[in-house]
Amino acid sequence: MRPERGLARPRAGRKAPLAAKHGSTRWEGVKNPLAAKYLRQVKAGDRIFLYHTGKEKAVVGEMRAKSAEDGVVTVVPVRRLKRPVTLAEIKAEKSLAGWELVRISRLSVMPVSDVIWKKIEAMAAG
The pLDDT of residue 15 is 46
The pLDDT of residue 70 is 85
Given a cut of 90, whether residue 52 has pLDDT beyond it is no
pLDDT tens digits, one per residue of 20-45: 556 888 888 888 899 899 999 999 99
Q: Which residue in 95, 67, 84 sits closest to 18, CA to CA? A: 84
Q: For the whole model, what pTM was predicted?
A: 0.85
Reported as a pLDDT band with limits 50, 70 and 90, residue 19 is: low
The domain locations on the chain are 5-125
3-state secondary structure of 95: helix
Amino acid (1-letter code) at residue 119: K
For CA atoms 62, 85, 36, 112, the dihedral sign is: negative
Reported as a pLDDT band with limits 50, 70 and 90, residue 105 is: confident
122: Cα separation from own chain's centroid: 16
The pLDDT of residue 126 is 83
Reported as a pLDDT band with limits 50, 70 and 90, residue 13 is: very low
Is residue 90 within 8 Å of 59, Cβ to Cβ?
Answer: yes
Domain 5-125 -> CATH class: alpha beta
